[in-house]
């Protein structure tokens, strides 16, 4: 049980990290001058936003997972290159990342153009402008929406149950199959998720407050 709890935390943390990275990179690519880069990013966003995360998970795990080569494991048998945990992390990161790109894009659009122009006048390169001017400002604008999406992501990690990642839900299911204490386990499960989401929200709110720039936003 406690192991499942940590797996859920680990999965959430990994997905949070990578989805934010995908969001930042995607938003940067979306502002690129190449038409096809923008189109590609848009295609990615629409594809992942408009299909069920569970089907994505199955697609990644079963369809792409079987295409990858297998490696020999410690016992001499064949095992897939990436386990279910890895696929869950990849698929959920891409799913949440698609939303994050949109969120960061709206944040970047909210940064006044004169600010970037001023940076350009000071001799910043394009990448430098993005990293040290646009992004920090956009981040502050995007934080509430990002917060929302990340909470959603933590809730979506329950889907990893479907491909047998031993997370909180999976472990609980095992326990109530053995002990027939469905009601108690379920209530405990809900409370555990409230606890996780509560910690995340509290942390994000604190971060938001500490990053606040007086007079901005």
Partner 1 sequence: MNKKTDLPVMLPKPVQTPQALSSLSYWHILPLIAAMMIIPSLAFSAAGDELKSPLAVLKNWIPLLLEGFVFNLIISVCAMAVGTAAGTALGLGQISPNNSLRRGSWFVTQFFRNAPWLVLLFFAMFLLPFELSIAGIIIPLPDWFKAIIGLSLPVMANVSEIVRGAIRSLPSGQWEAAESLAYTRRQTLWLVILPQCVKRMLPPWVNLYAILTMATVLASIVGVSEVMTLTGRALAAEGGRPELLAPFYGFVLLLFFAYCYPIARYTLRLEKKFAVIN
Residues at the interface with partner 1 (CB under 8 A) = 38-39, 42-43, 45-47, 49-56, 58-59, 62-64, 66-67, 102, 109, 151, 155-156, 158-159, 161-162, 169, 173, 176, 182-183, 186, 189-190, 193-194, 197
For partner 1, the closer of residues 20 and 153 by Cβ is: 153
Q: Give residue for tokens 């329950």.
A: 158
- Which of 63, 121 has the CB closer to partner 1? 63
**Closer of 105 and 140 to partner 1 (Cβ):** 105
Pick between residue 132 and residue 205 the one whose CB is nearest to partner 1: 205
Give me the least distance between CB of 144 and partner 1, in Å please.
Answer: 14
Q: How far apart are CA 140 and CA 53, in angstroms?
A: 28
CB 190 → partner 1: shortest distance, Å?
Answer: 5
Least Å distance between CB 173 and partner 1? Answer: 8
Q: How far apart are the first and last CA of the chain?
A: 43
Burial of 198 (0-12, 13-18, 19+ CB in 10 A): exposed
Min CB(153)–partner 1 separation in Å:
11
User: Measured from the CB of residue 32, what is the shortest distance to partner 1 in angstroms?
Assistant: 11
Nearby residues of 157 by Cβ (< 8 Å), 6 or more positions away: 8, 11, 12, 15, 88, 92, 167
Residues 105, 41: Cα–Cα separation, whole Å: 12
Which ranges in the chain belong to alpha helices (H)?
2-30, 35-49, 53-58, 84-109, 113-121, 126-129, 135-156, 168-179, 182-211
d(CA 87, CA 69): 14
57: nearest Cα among 23, 26, 90, 98: 90
Identity of the residue, 39 or 212, whose beta carbon is nearer to partner 1 in the bound complex: 39
> Please, are residues 26 and 97 in contact by the beta-carbon 8 Å criterion?
yes
Min separation Cβ 131 and partner 1, Å: 22
Residue closer to partner 1 by CB (options 131, 200) is 200
């Amino acid at each position: 049980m406690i192991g499942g709890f940590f797996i859920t935390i680990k999965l959430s943390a990994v997905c949070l990290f990578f989805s934010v990275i995908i969001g930042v990179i995607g938003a940067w690519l979306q502002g690129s001058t190449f038409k096809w880069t923008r189109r590609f990013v848009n295609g990615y966003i629409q594809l992942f936003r408009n299909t069920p995360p569970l089907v994505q998970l199955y697609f990644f795990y079963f369809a792409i997972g079987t295409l990858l080569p297998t490696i020999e494991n410690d016992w001499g048998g064949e095992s897939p290159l990436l386990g279910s945990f890895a696929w869950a992390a990849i698929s959920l990161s891409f799913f949440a990342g698609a939303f994050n790109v949109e969120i960061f894009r709206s944040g970047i659009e909210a940064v006044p153009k004169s600010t970037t122009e001023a940076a350009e006048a000071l001799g910043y390169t394009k990448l430098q402008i993005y990293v040290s001017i646009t992004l920090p400002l956009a981040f502050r604008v995007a934080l509430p929406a990002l917060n929302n999406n990340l909470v959603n992501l933590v809730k979506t990690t329950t889907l990893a149950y479907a491909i047998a990642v031993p997370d909180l839900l999976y472990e609980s299911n095992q326990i109530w199959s053995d002990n027939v204490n469905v009601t108690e386990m379920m209530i405990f499960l809900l409370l555990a998720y409230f606890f996780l989401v509560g910690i995340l929200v509290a942390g994000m709110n604190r971060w938001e407050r500490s990053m606040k720039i007086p007079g901005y936003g």
